[in-house]
Amino acid sequence: MKIRFPTFLTEFNWIIFMLLTVVLDKIFDFHDWHISAVFTLNLFLII
């Protein structure tokens, strides 16, 4: 199954989104990458 990204989500916006995710990951200090992955997925679904 191929994941379809929203048309408004350009590569530039995707990079910013990933950077924000990394920053939030550092702020909340996630020790478990599973939690970080779920958190990232939830952010993506919210958008």
Max CA distance (Å), the chain: 33
- Spatial separation of the C-alpha atoms in residues 28 and 11, rounded to whole Å: 25
Among the listed residues 32, 3, 8, the one whose alpha carbon sits nearest the alpha carbon of residue 17: 8
pLDDT over 60 (residue 5) = no
Q: What pLDDT is attached to residue 18?
A: 81
pTM of this structure: 0.38
Q: How is residue 25 written in tokens? A: 């990951």
Other beta carbons within 10 Å of 42: 9
3-state secondary structure of 10: coil
3-state secondary structure of 30: coil
Which has the higher per-residue pLDDT, 5 or 10? 10
Dump pLDDT digits (tens) for 7-45.
555 677 777 888 888 887 777 765 566 666 777 777 776
